[in-house]
Structure 1
Amino acid sequence: MQKKFLKNLIFLLFLNLLVKPFWILGVDRQVQNVVGTQDYGFYFAVFNFSYLFFIFLDLGITNFNNRNIARNNHQPKEHFGGMASMKLLLGLAYGVLVFLVAWLIGYRGRQLSMLAWVGFNQFLLSFILYLRSNISGLLLFSYDSVISVMDRLLMIGIVGVLLWTGVAGGRFSIEWFVYSQTAAYFITACFALAVLWRKSGRLSMRWDFSFFKMILRRSFPFALLVLIMSFYSRMDSVMIERLLPFPLGDQQAGVYAQAYRLLDAAQNMAYLFAVLLLPLFSKMLKENKPVSGLVRLSFLLIMSGAVLVAVSAQFFAHDIMQLM
C-alpha cells in the first residue's frame, strides 16, 4: 500500500504543482489586479460567507461515502441514486438558508446577486467532491487526480481568454470571473459523472427518505468536523467586510485575500494527502492490515512540507507579499 500511496501521491502533487501555481500567480492574482482590491475583496467576502454554510450542502456525506466505497466497492451503483437525490435536496435547503442569513445580516442588491452565482458554484463544487469520493473510493486515483485540477485548468483557459484577448468586450469585471467558475465546475462535474458512469455502470436517481435518514445519521460526525473547520478557516474575511464601513470593508478583505490565497494553497497540499489516505486507510482497516507504516510515512512528508513552508514564509514574508 505504501508503494501505491507514493506512486499516486507523486502524480497528484505533480499535476497540482503544474497547474495551481500558474492559477494563483498568473490568473487569480491578475484578476485582483485588473478588477481592483475593492471589487475582489467584495467577491472574496461573499465567497467566504457562502462557504461558511458549505457543510449544509454535504452534511459529511462525501467523507462517509468515500470510506464506505473503499470498503465495499460494489456500492457506488447501489447508493448513487439515493445520495445524488439527497444532494439536490440539500442544495435547495442550502440556497434558502444562505439567502435568509444574508438578508438578516444586511446583504442587498449586488451582494445578493453575487451570492446567487457563488452559491450555485458551491453546489456544483459539492457535487464534484461527491463524485470524486466515489472515484477515489474505488481507488481510481489517476482519474481523481486529473479531476482535482480540471476545474482550475478550465478556469485558466476561460479567464485567460477573457483577460488577455478582450473577447468579452469592455472592462473585465469580477462577475465574469464568477461566471467562468460556473462553466468550469459544470464541465468538470459532467466529466466526473461520465467517469463514474463508465466504471460503475448505469446510474439513476432514487428518492428514499428512510435511506436519507440512515445516511445522515451515519455521516453526522464527519459533518460536525467540516462545520467547525469551515468556521475556523473562513470567518475572517466575512467579519472584516461586515465590521468595517463601506468601501473600507471590501478593500481590507481584498488585502487579506492576497495573503490568504497562499495559506489556502498550502492547506490544499495537505488536503491532497487526505484524498489518498482516507480510502486507503478504510480499505486496509477493512482487510485487517496494519496502517502504522503508512501513518509514519504520511506524517513525515506532511510535517517536512509544513516546516519548510513556515520557515520560508517567516524569512521571505516581504518578498512573498510583493509577489502577490
Structure 2
Amino acid sequence: MSKKFAGQVSLLVLINLFVKLVWVLGIERNIQLSVGFNDYGAYYTLLSFSLILSIISDPGLSNYLIRHLSQNGISSNTNSELLFLKIVLSLIYLGSTCGLGIALGYKHDYFQLLLVLALYQVAWQFLTYLRGFLKGLHLFNAEIFFSVLDKVLLFLLFIPLLIYDLDLSRSIFFFAYSQLIAVVISIIGCSIFLRIKRVSVFRIGKIRLNFSLLKEVWPFTLFAFLVLIYNKIDVVMLEQILGKEMGKEEAGVYAAANRLLDASNMICVLFTSLFFPTISKLISNNKKIDKIVSSSFGILISFTIVIALSSWFYRRDLMVLLYGSESNKYVSGIFAVLMLNSPLLALYHIYSSVLIANNNLKQLNIISALCVGINILLNLFLIPQYRAFGATISSVITLALVTFLYSIFYYRHFKVKFNLKSNVKVILLVTTLFIANNLLEKTNIHWGFSMTIFMIIGFSTSYFSRLMNVKRLFSFINQNQNNQ
C-alpha cells in the first residue's frame, strides 16, 4: 500500500466520519426535536424496516464490482450485466417492501412514508454502486466528494430551516423527501462525472440477466442480512407489539437514546476500514495475526469502555444537554444501558473482520442465525412488559452473545492463547474509572468539567498501562507493509 493510497483512503474515511458525526449529533437530533418524538419514531421504525430488506437490492454487487474493476479493469459486458441485475433486484425489493408493509398493516401516511424510504434505500444503493466505479478505478478524490455530497446538500437545506424554526422543519415527510432528492442529485452528478471520464456503466446492447453472479456473494449477503435483522428488528417489533401510537413514541425514545451509540460506533467503523485490509493481507500471506488483533483490541476496548462508562455515570446530564425538556429518567436509563453496547461493538468489529477475512462465513452465518432467533424471542418476552427498555436489554444480551461466540471461535480456530495480560489491564481500567467517579461525585464542579476529568483519567490509564498502544499497532502495520 503506497503512502499516497493510504493517505487518500484515510482522508476518505475521516471526512465521512466528520460529516456523519455532524449529521447524527447535529441535524438528526434537531430534526427529532422539531418534528417530535412520535413522528420521528414512525420514521425511525420504517427506516429500520426498509433497511433490513434493502439487502435484496444490493446483495454485495457493489463490492463485487470494486473487486472486478481492481482485477480486470473496465468491462462493458460485466458492467451492463451487474447494473441490469441491480435494477431487477431493486424492483423486487420495492415490491417485497411494499407487500410486506401492507401485510404488517402500514396504511395511508405510514405506507407513503415507507414508500419514500424504500425509494431512498434504492437510490442510496445505486449511488453506492456508482461510487464503486470510483473506488475500483482509484478515483479517490471524486469518491471523497460524492461520498458526502448528499449530506452537504442536506446541511445547506436544513440548517437555515432549523435556525429560523420554519414550518417545513417540523414535517417528517419533508425530511424523508429531502433525503431522497439529495441522493438523486448525487447520483446524477456521479453519472455525469463517470461519463466525462468515459467510464462505461451500462450499454443497452449488452443487457443480459445473469443471476449466476449472486453465487459468489450469497454467503456474505446472508451474513449482512442476519446482522441487519438482529440490529434493527427491535425497533420494528416495538411498533408491532405495542401498537402504532405507543410504538411510535417508544421508537422515538429508542432513537434518541441510540444516537450517541451510533456516533461512537463510527469510530469503530473508521478503525475497521483500515484494520480489515491489513488483516486480510496477513491472512492471505499465512502470517500471524495475534499481535495486531491484540493491539487493535486494546485500542478499541479502551476507547469504548471510557465512552460507555462516561455515558453511564453522566447519563442524565448528557440527555438533558441533547434533548432538554424531552429528556427524563426513562430516556436516560435506556441511553445508559444502550451505551454498554459500545465495547461489545468494538469486539464485534474486530472478530468479525478477522473471520470474514479468513472466509469463515459459514460459521458466522450459523452464529448470526442463532442470535437472530434469540433476539426475536427476547423481544417478544421483554417488549410487552418493559417497552423500549426491554428492546434495549434484548439488544445488549444479543450483542454480548454474538461477540462471545465470535471470540471463542477466533481463539479456537487460530489457536491463539488467551491474553490474560490485556484482560487484567481492562479490569484495571474499569476499576480506576469507578474509583474516579466516586471521588468526582464528592466534588461540586460542573458536570462537564467532571466528565472531562473522568475521560482524561480513563485514557491516561489506558495509555500508561499500554493497553492503548497506538504506536505499537501502526509500527506493526508499517513493518508488514514494507515486507510485502
CA distance, structure 2, for counterparts of residue 159 and residue 180 of structure 1: 9
CA distance, structure 2, for counterparts of residue 20 and residue 157 of structure 1: 15
Structure 1 residue aligned with 2:174: 176
Q: State the secondary structure of the residue aligned to 2:170.
A: coil
Unaligned runs of 5+ in 1: none
Higher relative contact order, structure no. (Cα contacts within 8 Å, ≥ 6 residues apart): 1
Q: What is the total number of aligned residue pairs between the two structures?
A: 319
Farther off after superposition, 194-203 or 127-136: 194-203
Letter in 1 for 2:125: S
Give CA-to-partner distance per residue, 1:41-80, whole Å, 9 cap, x none. 011111111111011011121223333333x151465532
**Contact preservation (8 Å) 1:114, 1:175:** yes
CA distance, structure 1, for counterparts of residue 266 and residue 136 of structure 2: 19
Structure 2 residue aligned with 1:37: 37
Give CA-to-partner distance per residue, 1:270-290, whole Å, 9 cap, x none. 3345556667777x68x9697
Map 1:1-324 → 2, pairs under 5 A: 1=1, 3=3, 7-70=7-70, 72-75=71-74, 77-165=76-164, 172-199=170-197, 201-205=199-203, 206-209=206-209, 212-273=210-271, 275=273, 302-303=300-301, 305-324=303-322
In 2 relative to 1, CA 242–193 (structure 1 residues): closer, same or farther, beyond 3 Å? same
Letter in 2 for 1:179: Y
Q: TM-score, normalised by structure 2?
A: 0.59
- In the TM superposition, residue 154 of structure 1 has moved relative to its aligned partner by 1.4
Q: State the secondary structure of the residue aligned to 1:208.
A: coil
Letter in 1 for 2:112: S
In 2 relative to 1, CA 235–111 (structure 1 residues): closer, same or farther, beyond 3 Å? same
- In the TM superposition, residue 24 of structure 1 has moved relative to its aligned partner by 2.1
In 2 relative to 1, CA 88–69 (structure 1 residues): closer, same or farther, beyond 3 Å? same
Q: TM-score, normalised by structure 1?
A: 0.85
Give CA-to-partner distance per residue, 1:275-308, whole Å, 9 cap, x none. 56667777x68x9697969965766665554444
In 2 relative to 1, CA 135–299 (structure 1 residues): closer, same or farther, beyond 3 Å? farther
Letter in 2 for 1:95: L
Letter in 1 for 2:83: A
CA distance, structure 2, for counterparts of residue 315 and residue 160 of structure 1: 32
Farther off after superposition, 44-53 or 73-82: 73-82
**Contact preservation (8 Å) 2:60, 2:221:** yes
User: Superposition RMSD on alpha carbons, in Å?
Assistant: 3.2
- In the TM superposition, residue 251 of structure 1 has moved relative to its aligned partner by 0.6
Unaligned runs of 5+ in 2: 323-484
CA distance, structure 2, for counterparts of residue 203 and residue 96 of structure 1: 25
Aligned identity (percent) is 31
**Contact preservation (8 Å) 1:60, 1:226:** no
CA distance, structure 1, for counterparts of residue 308 and residue 75 of structure 2: 40
CA distance, structure 2, for counterparts of residue 78 and residue 84 of structure 1: 10
- In the TM superposition, residue 216 of structure 1 has moved relative to its aligned partner by 0.9
Farther off after superposition, 137-146 or 99-108: 137-146
In 2 relative to 1, CA 305–7 (structure 1 residues): closer, same or farther, beyond 3 Å? farther
Structure 1 residue aligned with 2:386: none
Q: State the secondary structure of the residue aligned to 2:183.
A: helix
**Contact preservation (8 Å) 2:57, 2:125:** yes
